[in-house]
Structure 1
Amino acid sequence: MVLGLSISAFTTLHVLLSLVGIASGLVAVAAMISRRSSPGWTALFLTTTLLTTLTGFLFPISVLTPALIVGLVSLALLIAALLALYAFHSRGAWRWIFVVTAVAALYLNVFVLIVQAFQKIGFLNALAPTQSEPPFLVAQAAALLAFLIAGYLAAVRIPPRGLPAV
Protein backbone atom coordinates (compact mmCIF):
# COMPACT_ATOMS: atom_id res chain seq x y z
CA MET A 1 0.00 0.00 0.00
CA VAL A 2 1.11 3.51 -0.84
CA LEU A 3 -0.91 6.50 0.39
CA GLY A 4 -3.73 4.11 1.20
CA LEU A 5 -3.79 2.70 -2.34
CA SER A 6 -2.80 -0.74 -3.51
CA ILE A 7 0.43 -0.81 -5.52
CA SER A 8 -1.66 -1.43 -8.64
CA ALA A 9 -3.95 1.57 -8.01
CA PHE A 10 -0.99 3.76 -7.05
CA THR A 11 0.82 2.73 -10.25
CA THR A 12 -2.27 3.63 -12.27
CA LEU A 13 -2.41 7.06 -10.61
CA HIS A 14 1.30 7.59 -11.27
CA VAL A 15 0.93 6.62 -14.94
CA LEU A 16 -2.14 8.84 -15.41
CA LEU A 17 -0.31 11.81 -13.90
CA SER A 18 2.60 11.11 -16.23
CA LEU A 19 0.40 10.92 -19.33
CA VAL A 20 -1.43 14.14 -18.44
CA GLY A 21 1.96 15.76 -17.80
CA ILE A 22 3.25 14.67 -21.19
CA ALA A 23 0.14 15.75 -23.07
CA SER A 24 -0.11 19.13 -21.35
CA GLY A 25 3.64 19.63 -21.67
CA LEU A 26 3.47 19.08 -25.41
CA VAL A 27 0.70 21.70 -25.63
CA ALA A 28 2.70 24.13 -23.46
CA VAL A 29 5.88 23.69 -25.52
CA ALA A 30 3.94 24.07 -28.77
CA ALA A 31 2.54 27.33 -27.39
CA MET A 32 6.05 28.53 -26.54
CA ILE A 33 7.23 27.71 -30.05
CA SER A 34 4.31 29.61 -31.56
CA ARG A 35 4.94 32.61 -29.27
CA ARG A 36 1.66 32.20 -27.41
CA SER A 37 1.11 32.28 -23.70
CA SER A 38 -0.62 29.24 -22.24
CA PRO A 39 -0.54 29.69 -18.47
CA GLY A 40 -3.19 27.04 -17.82
CA TRP A 41 -1.47 24.33 -19.87
CA THR A 42 1.89 25.30 -18.39
CA ALA A 43 0.55 25.09 -14.84
CA LEU A 44 -1.10 21.73 -15.56
CA PHE A 45 2.15 20.44 -17.10
CA LEU A 46 4.33 21.59 -14.21
CA THR A 47 1.88 20.34 -11.56
CA THR A 48 1.29 16.90 -13.03
CA THR A 49 4.94 16.40 -13.92
CA LEU A 50 5.98 17.39 -10.40
CA LEU A 51 3.38 15.00 -8.96
CA THR A 52 4.62 12.25 -11.31
CA THR A 53 8.15 12.77 -10.06
CA LEU A 54 7.15 12.90 -6.41
CA THR A 55 4.91 9.82 -6.60
CA GLY A 56 7.77 7.96 -8.26
CA PHE A 57 9.75 8.32 -5.04
CA LEU A 58 6.97 6.65 -3.04
CA PHE A 59 7.23 3.24 -4.69
CA PRO A 60 8.77 0.62 -2.39
CA ILE A 61 12.32 0.63 -3.75
CA SER A 62 15.25 -0.22 -1.49
CA VAL A 63 18.24 0.55 -3.75
CA LEU A 64 19.29 3.43 -5.94
CA THR A 65 18.00 2.70 -9.45
CA PRO A 66 18.29 4.54 -12.77
CA ALA A 67 14.60 5.50 -12.32
CA LEU A 68 15.41 7.23 -9.02
CA ILE A 69 18.31 9.09 -10.62
CA VAL A 70 16.03 10.27 -13.45
CA GLY A 71 13.52 11.32 -10.79
CA LEU A 72 16.13 13.36 -8.92
CA VAL A 73 17.25 15.10 -12.12
CA SER A 74 13.61 15.74 -13.04
CA LEU A 75 12.92 17.19 -9.59
CA ALA A 76 15.88 19.58 -9.89
CA LEU A 77 14.72 20.67 -13.35
CA LEU A 78 11.15 21.22 -12.16
CA ILE A 79 12.25 23.26 -9.16
CA ALA A 80 14.32 25.47 -11.46
CA ALA A 81 11.41 25.81 -13.92
CA LEU A 82 8.98 26.70 -11.14
CA LEU A 83 11.36 29.30 -9.70
CA ALA A 84 12.06 30.76 -13.14
CA LEU A 85 8.37 31.09 -13.99
CA TYR A 86 6.70 31.94 -10.69
CA ALA A 87 9.43 33.61 -8.60
CA PHE A 88 11.35 35.40 -11.36
CA HIS A 89 8.50 35.70 -13.91
CA SER A 90 10.74 34.51 -16.75
CA ARG A 91 12.50 37.86 -16.89
CA GLY A 92 15.94 38.18 -18.42
CA ALA A 93 17.97 34.99 -18.25
CA TRP A 94 15.15 33.32 -16.32
CA ARG A 95 13.15 32.96 -19.53
CA TRP A 96 15.88 30.75 -20.99
CA ILE A 97 16.18 28.88 -17.73
CA PHE A 98 12.43 28.26 -17.70
CA VAL A 99 12.32 27.02 -21.29
CA VAL A 100 15.36 24.76 -20.97
CA THR A 101 14.32 23.23 -17.65
CA ALA A 102 10.67 22.79 -18.63
CA VAL A 103 11.52 21.16 -21.96
CA ALA A 104 14.17 18.98 -20.31
CA ALA A 105 11.68 17.83 -17.63
CA LEU A 106 9.15 17.00 -20.35
CA TYR A 107 11.84 15.10 -22.27
CA LEU A 108 12.67 13.01 -19.19
CA ASN A 109 9.00 12.11 -18.81
CA VAL A 110 8.91 11.01 -22.47
CA PHE A 111 12.22 9.17 -22.03
CA VAL A 112 10.63 7.14 -19.22
CA LEU A 113 7.50 6.60 -21.32
CA ILE A 114 9.63 5.07 -24.07
CA VAL A 115 11.48 2.87 -21.57
CA GLN A 116 8.19 1.69 -20.08
CA ALA A 117 6.63 1.14 -23.50
CA PHE A 118 9.52 -1.11 -24.57
CA GLN A 119 9.28 -3.00 -21.27
CA LYS A 120 5.50 -3.44 -21.11
CA ILE A 121 4.12 -3.49 -24.68
CA GLY A 122 4.59 -6.93 -26.19
CA PHE A 123 5.50 -6.08 -29.78
CA LEU A 124 7.91 -3.34 -28.68
CA ASN A 125 9.50 -5.63 -26.12
CA ALA A 126 9.96 -8.25 -28.83
CA LEU A 127 11.80 -5.65 -30.94
CA ALA A 128 14.14 -4.64 -28.10
CA PRO A 129 13.97 -7.01 -25.13
CA THR A 130 17.16 -5.68 -23.50
CA GLN A 131 16.65 -2.05 -24.59
CA SER A 132 20.03 -2.04 -26.26
CA GLU A 133 18.69 -3.00 -29.71
CA PRO A 134 18.37 -0.52 -32.60
CA PRO A 135 14.58 0.05 -32.38
CA PHE A 136 14.87 1.26 -28.78
CA LEU A 137 17.95 3.35 -29.51
CA VAL A 138 16.31 4.91 -32.56
CA ALA A 139 13.17 5.75 -30.57
CA GLN A 140 15.21 7.39 -27.81
CA ALA A 141 17.46 9.24 -30.28
CA ALA A 142 14.43 10.52 -32.22
CA ALA A 143 12.81 11.75 -28.99
CA LEU A 144 16.01 13.47 -27.90
CA LEU A 145 16.43 15.15 -31.29
CA ALA A 146 12.79 16.28 -31.31
CA PHE A 147 13.14 17.81 -27.84
CA LEU A 148 16.44 19.50 -28.68
CA ILE A 149 14.81 21.11 -31.72
CA ALA A 150 11.65 22.03 -29.78
CA GLY A 151 13.69 23.46 -26.92
CA TYR A 152 15.78 25.54 -29.27
CA LEU A 153 12.72 26.87 -31.11
CA ALA A 154 10.93 27.66 -27.85
CA ALA A 155 14.00 29.41 -26.44
CA VAL A 156 14.53 31.64 -29.46
CA ARG A 157 10.84 32.44 -29.92
CA ILE A 158 9.81 33.20 -26.35
CA PRO A 159 9.17 36.95 -26.02
CA PRO A 160 12.08 38.98 -24.55
CA ARG A 161 9.98 40.04 -21.58
CA GLY A 162 9.30 36.38 -20.79
CA LEU A 163 6.06 34.57 -20.14
CA PRO A 164 3.43 35.94 -17.79
CA ALA A 165 3.13 34.05 -14.56
CA VAL A 166 -0.05 32.07 -13.97
Structure 2
Amino acid sequence: MFDLSMFTLIHVLISVLGIVAGLVVIGGLMGGARLDGWTALFLLTTVLTSVTGFFFPATQITPAHAVGVISLVVLAVCLVARYAKQMAGRWRGTYVLTAVVAVYLNVFVLVVQLFVKTPPLAQLAPTQSEPPFAITQAVVLLVFAGLAWAALRGFRLRR
Protein backbone atom coordinates (compact mmCIF):
# COMPACT_ATOMS: atom_id res chain seq x y z
CA MET A 1 0.00 0.00 0.00
CA PHE A 2 1.26 3.46 -0.95
CA ASP A 3 1.45 5.77 2.09
CA LEU A 4 1.35 9.24 0.54
CA SER A 5 2.14 11.09 3.76
CA MET A 6 5.26 8.96 4.40
CA PHE A 7 6.33 9.30 0.77
CA THR A 8 5.87 13.09 0.99
CA LEU A 9 7.97 13.24 4.16
CA ILE A 10 10.78 11.23 2.54
CA HIS A 11 10.61 13.38 -0.59
CA VAL A 12 10.78 16.59 1.47
CA LEU A 13 13.71 15.30 3.56
CA ILE A 14 15.63 14.32 0.42
CA SER A 15 14.85 17.73 -1.10
CA VAL A 16 16.04 19.65 1.95
CA LEU A 17 19.20 17.53 2.14
CA GLY A 18 19.81 18.26 -1.56
CA ILE A 19 19.39 21.99 -1.03
CA VAL A 20 21.71 22.04 1.99
CA ALA A 21 24.35 19.91 0.23
CA GLY A 22 23.99 22.06 -2.89
CA LEU A 23 24.55 25.25 -0.94
CA VAL A 24 27.65 23.72 0.66
CA VAL A 25 28.91 22.78 -2.83
CA ILE A 26 28.26 26.31 -4.13
CA GLY A 27 30.12 27.72 -1.13
CA GLY A 28 33.01 25.39 -1.90
CA LEU A 29 33.04 26.48 -5.53
CA MET A 30 33.08 30.12 -4.48
CA GLY A 31 36.15 29.32 -2.38
CA GLY A 32 37.83 27.29 -5.10
CA ALA A 33 37.17 23.86 -3.53
CA ARG A 34 35.71 20.81 -5.26
CA LEU A 35 34.22 19.12 -2.16
CA ASP A 36 33.86 15.74 -3.88
CA GLY A 37 31.86 14.05 -1.10
CA TRP A 38 29.41 16.93 -0.76
CA THR A 39 29.11 17.06 -4.55
CA ALA A 40 28.18 13.37 -4.75
CA LEU A 41 25.62 13.82 -1.97
CA PHE A 42 24.19 16.92 -3.63
CA LEU A 43 23.88 15.30 -7.04
CA LEU A 44 22.39 12.05 -5.68
CA THR A 45 19.79 13.77 -3.51
CA THR A 46 18.91 16.30 -6.19
CA VAL A 47 18.38 13.57 -8.80
CA LEU A 48 16.28 11.63 -6.26
CA THR A 49 14.24 14.77 -5.52
CA SER A 50 13.39 15.22 -9.18
CA VAL A 51 12.68 11.54 -9.81
CA THR A 52 10.51 11.04 -6.72
CA GLY A 53 8.51 14.12 -7.66
CA PHE A 54 7.05 12.18 -10.58
CA PHE A 55 5.54 9.58 -8.23
CA PHE A 56 3.00 11.94 -6.68
CA PRO A 57 -0.55 11.32 -7.88
CA ALA A 58 -1.54 13.56 -10.78
CA THR A 59 -4.23 13.41 -13.44
CA GLN A 60 -2.42 15.73 -15.85
CA ILE A 61 0.98 17.22 -16.51
CA THR A 62 1.61 20.10 -14.10
CA PRO A 63 4.19 22.89 -13.85
CA ALA A 64 5.91 20.72 -11.23
CA HIS A 65 6.43 18.04 -13.87
CA ALA A 66 7.98 20.62 -16.21
CA VAL A 67 10.38 21.79 -13.48
CA GLY A 68 11.24 18.14 -12.77
CA VAL A 69 12.09 17.48 -16.42
CA ILE A 70 14.16 20.66 -16.67
CA SER A 71 15.96 19.74 -13.46
CA LEU A 72 16.79 16.25 -14.72
CA VAL A 73 18.15 17.66 -18.01
CA VAL A 74 20.27 20.20 -16.08
CA LEU A 75 21.49 17.43 -13.76
CA ALA A 76 22.38 15.17 -16.70
CA VAL A 77 24.59 17.93 -18.15
CA CYS A 78 26.03 18.60 -14.68
CA LEU A 79 26.91 14.91 -14.22
CA VAL A 80 28.55 14.74 -17.65
CA ALA A 81 30.54 17.93 -16.99
CA ARG A 82 31.67 16.79 -13.55
CA TYR A 83 32.34 13.09 -14.01
CA ALA A 84 32.60 12.22 -17.72
CA LYS A 85 34.41 15.39 -18.84
CA GLN A 86 36.25 15.90 -15.52
CA MET A 87 35.54 19.65 -15.72
CA ALA A 88 38.15 20.03 -18.45
CA GLY A 89 38.17 23.31 -20.36
CA ARG A 90 34.72 24.80 -20.83
CA TRP A 91 33.18 21.90 -18.93
CA ARG A 92 34.38 23.56 -15.71
CA GLY A 93 32.06 26.52 -16.24
CA THR A 94 29.29 24.22 -17.45
CA TYR A 95 29.58 22.20 -14.26
CA VAL A 96 29.49 25.30 -12.04
CA LEU A 97 26.48 26.81 -13.82
CA THR A 98 24.46 23.60 -13.97
CA ALA A 99 25.16 22.86 -10.30
CA VAL A 100 23.91 26.32 -9.30
CA VAL A 101 20.86 26.04 -11.58
CA ALA A 102 20.00 22.63 -10.07
CA VAL A 103 20.04 24.09 -6.55
CA TYR A 104 18.07 27.12 -7.74
CA LEU A 105 15.35 24.89 -9.20
CA ASN A 106 15.01 23.07 -5.88
CA VAL A 107 14.77 26.37 -4.01
CA PHE A 108 12.27 27.65 -6.58
CA VAL A 109 10.06 24.64 -5.81
CA LEU A 110 10.61 25.15 -2.07
CA VAL A 111 9.31 28.71 -2.37
CA VAL A 112 6.28 27.47 -4.34
CA GLN A 113 5.55 24.89 -1.67
CA LEU A 114 5.96 27.43 1.13
CA PHE A 115 3.39 29.69 -0.53
CA VAL A 116 1.02 26.74 -1.01
CA LYS A 117 1.39 25.07 2.39
CA THR A 118 1.99 27.98 4.78
CA PRO A 119 -1.34 29.70 5.58
CA PRO A 120 0.00 33.28 5.98
CA LEU A 121 1.92 33.03 2.71
CA ALA A 122 -1.03 31.36 0.98
CA GLN A 123 -3.19 34.33 2.01
CA LEU A 124 -0.66 36.74 0.50
CA ALA A 125 -0.56 34.87 -2.82
CA PRO A 126 -3.42 32.38 -3.13
CA THR A 127 -2.92 31.86 -6.89
CA GLN A 128 0.84 32.48 -6.91
CA SER A 129 0.36 35.24 -9.46
CA GLU A 130 0.31 38.00 -6.84
CA PRO A 131 3.21 40.43 -6.26
CA PRO A 132 4.48 38.87 -2.97
CA PHE A 133 5.09 35.56 -4.75
CA ALA A 134 6.63 37.18 -7.82
CA ILE A 135 8.88 39.42 -5.73
CA THR A 136 10.03 36.50 -3.60
CA GLN A 137 10.86 34.42 -6.66
CA ALA A 138 12.65 37.38 -8.27
CA VAL A 139 14.78 37.86 -5.16
CA VAL A 140 15.63 34.13 -5.11
CA LEU A 141 16.61 34.31 -8.79
CA LEU A 142 18.82 37.35 -8.18
CA VAL A 143 20.50 35.65 -5.21
CA PHE A 144 21.27 32.58 -7.31
CA ALA A 145 22.52 34.72 -10.21
CA GLY A 146 24.94 36.30 -7.73
CA LEU A 147 25.94 32.89 -6.39
CA ALA A 148 26.55 31.64 -9.94
CA TRP A 149 28.75 34.63 -10.73
CA ALA A 150 30.71 34.21 -7.48
CA ALA A 151 31.08 30.45 -8.02
CA LEU A 152 32.31 30.93 -11.59
CA ARG A 153 34.76 33.57 -10.42
CA GLY A 154 36.00 31.65 -7.39
CA PHE A 155 36.28 28.13 -8.71
CA ARG A 156 39.69 27.14 -9.94
CA LEU A 157 40.27 23.51 -10.83
CA ARG A 158 43.08 22.15 -8.67
CA ARG A 159 45.04 19.24 -10.08
Q: TM-score, normalised by structure 1?
A: 0.91
1:12 maps to amino acid: L
Q: Which runs of 5+ in 1 are unaligned?
A: none
2:102 matched to 1:105?
A: yes
Deviations 1:101-139 (A, max 9, x none): 111111000000000000001111111111122211111
Structure 1 residue 132 corresponds to structure 2 residue 126 = no
Does the Cα contact within 8 Å between 1:21 and 1:45 map onto a contact in 2? yes
1:135 and 1:47 map into 2 onto residues whose CA distance is 32
What's the CA shift for 1:60? 2.2
Q: CA deviation at 1:156?
A: 2.0
C-alpha spacing 1:163/1:94, structure 2 compared with 1 (3 Å): farther
The yes-or-no answer on 1:123 pairing with 2:120 is yes
Following the alignment from structure 1 to structure 2, what is the Cα–Cα distance between the partners of residues 61 and 134? 28
Whole-Å separation in 1 of the counterparts to 2:123 and 2:63: 22
Of stretches 95-104 and 32-41 in structure 1, the one that deviates more from structure 2 is 32-41
Query: Are 1:149 and 2:142 an aligned pair?
Result: no
Amino acid in structure 1 at the alignment position of 2:76: I
The offset of 1:163, in angstroms, is: 6.3
Structure 2 Cα separation of the partners of residues 132 and 144 of structure 1? 16
**Change in 2 beyond 3 A, CA 1:46/1:107:** same
- Letter of the structure 2 residue corresponding to residue 147 of structure 1: F
CA contact (8 A) 1:95 1:163 kept: no
**CA distances 1:8-35 after superposition (whole Å, capped 9, x unpaired):** 1111111111000001111110110111
Task: Give the superposition deviation at 1:62.
Answer: 2.9
Q: Alignment identity in percent?
A: 48
1:15 corresponding residue in structure 2: 12
Q: Output aligned runs, 1:1-166, within 5 Å.
A: 1=1, 5-159=2-156, 162=157
- Provide the rounded CA distance (Å) in 2 between the counterparts of 1:66 and 1:137: 16
Moved over 3 A (4+): none
- TM-aligned CA distance change 1:37 to 1:125, over 3 Å: same
Unpaired stretches in structure 2, ≥5 consecutive residues? none
Does the 8 Å contact 1:90/1:163 carry over to 2? no
CA RMSD of the aligned region, Å?
A: 1.3
- 3-state secondary structure, aligned to 2:33: coil
TM-score by length of 2: 0.95
